Structure 1
Amino acid sequence: MHLETNVLVIGAGGAGMYAALEAERSGASVILVDRSLIGRGGATVMAQMTVAAALGEQTPDHWEYHLSDTLAAGRGLCDQRLAALVCEDGPRRIREMDAWKVGWAREDDHIKQAQAPGHDRPRCVYVDFLSTGPAVSRTLRTQLNGSNGIRRVGDLAIIDIAVRDGEACGATALHLPTGHVVTIAAKAVVIATGGLTRLYRRNSASANMGGDGYALALRAGAELIDMEFVQFFPIGHLAPRLVGMDPIMWDPFRYKLGGRLLNGEMREFEEDYATRDRRSDGNYVLTRDLATYAITKEVEAGRGSPAGGAYLSFQHVPEAEMRRAFGPVVDRLAANGIDLARQPVEVAPIAHYHMGGIRVDDALETRVAGLYACGEAVGGANGANRLSGNAITEAFVFGARAGHSAARRASKGSGVWSADAARPAVDLLRSAKRRDAPNMAATVAELQALMAEKVGPFRSDEKLRAAVDGLARLTREIGHTPVSSADGFDPVLADWLDLRNMLLVAQSVVVAALARTESRGAHQREDHPGLDDGAWRVNQIVALIEGRLHLSRSAPLAGRDVA
């Protein structure tokens, strides 16, 4: 099957839907594809927290104050042009979503804004504690439903970007239910596939966040930036089973109600790792990085909880106080069989967000003409760590910018389709054979375990070199020829294609982490504990040259262009 459009958007989370809407508003025909259902995959739909924007609705604010906090969180490595774009355009996008009836919480006829860690004032909006992400996704889907110029195609896995004479001209895809090969001609292509948290055994995102967009960009000739910076959330939910709720939901509980971290011996251990961080009641509460470190060390010492984390207990908090603070959430937890007044939950650090990604300019274009990126697929804006609340703002702002830029390029008639440019990917899919090979699903699990154990929150030369060897072995084992198990729907082939991407992206993370011999933001080296601004106030750039990853350095970009 062959399809044609002006703009192809790959990925239908918050950023992808916004890109498609803006591209259509800018006059382009659009095909929006996703390997899952449109608007139901990715990270946005799972988010239950807040969205940062300097609205100034309740407290005087300005986007430059938001930018200052964003740059501070990035530890000197932010691309200031991109960071400024997020902060300056964020309020406009929040108000546009408000006009689309997303339902931002209000107080005294103003959009309510909450305080979040790292912000100098209350500036984070939300729908309610449980529903911000789902409400955002539903609102964007509603806008798509009212659009006539956007064709939506689900269950379509993009295999490679087609590039002709240095310009993106479309893509090759696999229709997962039927196994049919699909080529798509486009005058501009937008990658909106999210991050890479599926590389880790424990993560907070959906199952299709395996770094596909990064691999697509690399093979097309684009560059990646800041790949070593993976953000881990310290108290992600571990046990008992939690259905339909965000695994990172415990932070507000912990800070507002004074949740206590207990080890497997039921002993509170925060004080063992604390320095100057105390709650107002005199008890210790660790910052996120210290909490991650403390839980990791307790587990390594054999003092972890049964599921391999720590206990988070609210049993000392009166039930009436819990209900007053988080009534609807308490009821949702009860429906999951969790009674916080009578039992602790188990928590552990989980991969939550990726600061790195595809390197773009201020139009969100890569170094491959006609190839754009948006949302978490973009690297550079967050530097070494992301400020709380910026993720969905980034999805809105970058999605709109990339969609508009792609439509402008498409209007110029660039990106002429070439069947020859798609032939290598088509031939790859048609070469799939039934042959002896590792269990692909088991290999995915082995890769996730390797990344968790060797490339987790705390790294060392020894661990990272072991990861290099492990990734090389897994790459050899799956081989260069796809594995097939059936005609039509073929989960083995899908897993092989996933592994092809995941292994390439994992190698990009490891090579950058091994090279950065300091600790900065989300990258913590146990063998290099200090920040080295003299040598390492640089971004690391990853490119794929003749089949091998190449690493270089570049000074962080200052200034901005948000016209």
Structure 2
Amino acid sequence: MHLETEVLVIGGGGAGMYAALEAARTGASVVLADRSIVGRGGATVMAQMTVAAALGEQVPDHWEYHLADTLAAGRGLCDARLAAMLCEEGPHRIREMDSWKVGWAREDGHIKQAQAPGHDRPRCVYVDFLSTGPAVSRTLRGRVNAVGGIRRISELAIVDIAVRDGEACGATALHLSTGQIVTIGAKAVVIATGGLTRLYRRNSASANMGGDGYALALRAGAELIDMEFVQFFPIGHLAPRLVGMDPIMWDPFRYKLGGKLLNAEMREFETDYAARDTRSDGRYVLTRDLATYAIFKEVEAGRGSPAGGAYLSFQHVPEAEIRRAFGPVVDRLAANGINLAAQPVEVAPIAHYHMGGVRVDERMCTRVPGLFACGEALGGANGANRLSGNAITEAFVFGARAGQNAAEHALARSNGYSADATRCTVDLLRSASRRDGPNTAATIATLQALMSDKVGPFRTGRTLQAAETALMEITSEIGDRPLAAESPCDPVLVDWLDLRNMLLVARSVTAAALARTESRGAHQREDHPGLDAAWEINQIVSLESGRLRLRRQAPTIDRNAA
């Protein structure tokens, strides 16, 4: 099957839906494709947290204060142009979502704003502490459904970006439920596929966030930036068993009720590590990288909880106050055998977000003309560590920017698609008949264990070198011809295509982490502790003649730079 459109948006999460909306409002026809279900996959729909924006509804605020906090969390590596755009345009997008009836929580007639880690004042809006992401996704789905010119296609996995004469001109895809090959001609392509946390054994991501967009960008000729910086959410649920609830649900209740992190001695330990953050005054303001460090160090010292994490306790909070704060969640926890007034839960770091991604300019355009990126798929805005609450904000802001600029690019051009641009990938998919390779599902599990154990939140040169060797061995094992079960809905072929992407992205993360011989933000080298001023640089990854290449450049510190 062949489709034609002016703008192809790859990924139907928050950023992708916003990009599609803005492209359609600009006047372009849009195909919005997602490998799961449009509006119900990706990270946004899973988010239970808050959204950062300097609205100044309850306390005086300005976007430049938000920017200062964002840059501080980024440890000197933020692209100031992107960070400033995020902070300056964030309030407009929050108010736009408000006009679309998303349902931001209010107090005394004002949009309510909560304090979150790393912010200098209450700045983060929410719907409620467990439903912000679902409410955002539902609102955007409704807008997408109501706007003409957007064709939504679910269960469509993009395999490769089509490039003709150096310019993006469409894509080749696989319809997952039928096995049908689909080619798409487009005058502009937007990558909105989210991050890479599926690379790790314990993660908070949906199953389709294995770094697809990064691999698509690399193979199309674009560059990646800051790939070594993987953010681990410090208090992902560990024990007792929790069924039907998000493992990262604890953070808003922790800072709302003053939940305490305790070690095996039932002693609070966070302030032992607060001195590592010069902005900390002993309150709960440790950024996520520092909180992750604190828990890992307590476990390493033999003071961890039985399941290998730390305790999170609300036992000092009156039971009635817990119920007021948690509402019906208390009953859902009780169904899991958890009584917060009587027992702590165990928590531990979990792969949650990726600061790196596709390198773009202020128009969200890559170095490949016609190829754009937005949301978590792009890198540079967050530097070495993302400030809490910025993820959904960047989905709104960068999604809208990418959609508008992609539409303007598309409307100024004639269709450059040619069947020659998709022929190699079509031939690759048609050749899918091998059955002599490894078990692909088991190989994905092996890859996830490898990344968790060797390229996790704390690394050494030895573990990273071991990971590089193992990744190359796995790459050789799966080969360059697709494995398949030769059925219309072929999970073996899908796993092979996922491994093709995941391995390329895992190698990018590992190479960048091995090269950066310091500890900064979410990248912690146990053999190179502490910041090194010489490493206040970004690392850029490209794919040249099938080989990964690294180069370095100074961060863009002038937010007004062209």
Q: 2:204 corresponds to which letter in structure 1? A: S
Question: Superposed, which structure 2 residues align to 1:53-452 within 5 Å?
Answer: 53-263=53-263, 267-268=266-267, 270=269, 273-274=272-273, 276=275, 288-300=288-300, 304-452=304-452
Q: 1:537 corresponds to which letter in structure 2? A: E
Q: 1:188 corresponds to which letter in structure 2? A: A
Question: Superposed, which structure 2 residues align to 1:444-523 within 5 Å?
Answer: 444-523=444-523
Q: 1:163-201 CA deviation, whole Å, 9 max, x = no partner?
A: 000100000000001111000000000000000010011
Structure 1 Cα separation of the partners of residues 234 and 355 of structure 2: 17
Q: Partner of 1:60: helix, strand, or coil? A: coil
Q: 1:135 corresponds to which letter in structure 2? A: A
CA gap 1:368/1:415 in 2 versus in 1, 3 angstroms: farther
Q: 1:218-247 CA deviation, whole Å, 9 max, x = no partner?
A: 000000000001111111012333344332
* Shift of residue 345, structure 1, vs aligned partner: 2.0
Unaligned runs of 5+ in 2: none
Q: 1:197 corresponds to which letter in structure 2? A: T
Q: Partner of 1:203: helix, strand, or coil? A: coil
| 1:536 pairs with 2:535 | yes
Structure 2 Cα separation of the partners of residues 429 and 370 of structure 1: 25
Contact 1:277 1:284 in 2 (8 A): no
Contact 1:69 1:118 in 2 (8 A): yes
Q: 1:28 corresponds to which letter in structure 2? A: A
* Shift of residue 300, structure 1, vs aligned partner: 4.3
Structure 1 Cα separation of the partners of residues 149 and 255 of structure 2: 46
Structure 1 Cα separation of the partners of residues 261 and 233 of structure 2: 15
The corresponding residue for 1:526 is 526
The corresponding residue for 2:38 is 38
Q: 1:52-92 CA deviation, whole Å, 9 max, x = no partner?
A: 11111121221111111111111111111111111111111
Structure 2 Cα separation of the partners of residues 182 and 561 of structure 1: 42
* Shift of residue 327, structure 1, vs aligned partner: 2.7
Structure 1 Cα separation of the partners of residues 116 and 68 of structure 2: 15
TM-score, with structure 1 as normaliser: 0.95
Q: Partner of 1:418: helix, strand, or coil? A: coil
Contact 2:73 2:287 in 1 (8 A): no
Structure 1 Cα separation of the partners of residues 284 and 18 of structure 2: 42
Structure 1 Cα separation of the partners of residues 393 and 287 of structure 2: 24
Q: 1:478 corresponds to which letter in structure 2? A: I
* Shift of residue 31, structure 1, vs aligned partner: 0.3
Structure 2 Cα separation of the partners of residues 2 and 194 of structure 1: 26
Q: Partner of 1:400: helix, strand, or coil? A: helix
Q: 1:523-552 CA deviation, whole Å, 9 max, x = no partner?
A: 11111111011x111100000000000000
Q: How many residues align?
A: 560
CA gap 1:143/1:80 in 2 versus in 1, 3 angstroms: same
Percent identical pairs in the alignment equals: 79
Contact 1:162 1:421 in 2 (8 A): yes
Contact 2:57 2:110 in 1 (8 A): yes
The corresponding residue for 1:555 is 554
Contact 2:9 2:16 in 1 (8 A): yes
Structure 2 Cα separation of the partners of residues 28 and 542 of structure 1: 32
Contact 1:130 1:245 in 2 (8 A): no
* Shift of residue 562, structure 1, vs aligned partner: 9.9
Deviates more, 1:250-259 or 1:549-558: 250-259
TM-score, with structure 2 as normaliser: 0.95
Structure 2 Cα separation of the partners of residues 204 and 380 of structure 1: 22
Structure 1 Cα separation of the partners of residues 415 and 532 of structure 2: 43
Contact 1:224 1:357 in 2 (8 A): yes
Q: 1:231 corresponds to which letter in structure 2? A: Q
Unaligned runs of 5+ in 1: none
Structure 1 Cα separation of the partners of residues 258 and 50 of structure 2: 20
CA gap 1:300/1:41 in 2 versus in 1, 3 angstroms: same
CA gap 1:229/1:414 in 2 versus in 1, 3 angstroms: farther
Q: Partner of 1:89: helix, strand, or coil? A: helix
* Shift of residue 283, structure 1, vs aligned partner: 11
Contact 1:55 1:123 in 2 (8 A): yes
Structure 2 Cα separation of the partners of residues 192 and 515 of structure 1: 28
Q: Partner of 2:23: helix, strand, or coil? A: helix
Structure 2 Cα separation of the partners of residues 510 and 425 of structure 1: 27
Q: 1:87-118 CA deviation, whole Å, 9 max, x = no partner?
A: 11111111110110000111111111111111
Q: 1:254-290 CA deviation, whole Å, 9 max, x = no partner?
A: 3444434455x56436279546599x9x999976444
Structure 2 Cα separation of the partners of residues 209 and 184 of structure 1: 22
Structure 2 Cα separation of the partners of residues 399 and 286 of structure 1: 29
Contact 1:277 1:287 in 2 (8 A): no
Deviates more, 1:136-145 or 1:479-488: 479-488
Structure 2 Cα separation of the partners of residues 231 and 244 of structure 1: 24
Structure 2 Cα separation of the partners of residues 149 and 548 of structure 1: 40
Q: 2:520 corresponds to which letter in structure 1? A: R
Q: Partner of 1:270: helix, strand, or coil? A: coil
Contact 2:55 2:91 in 1 (8 A): yes
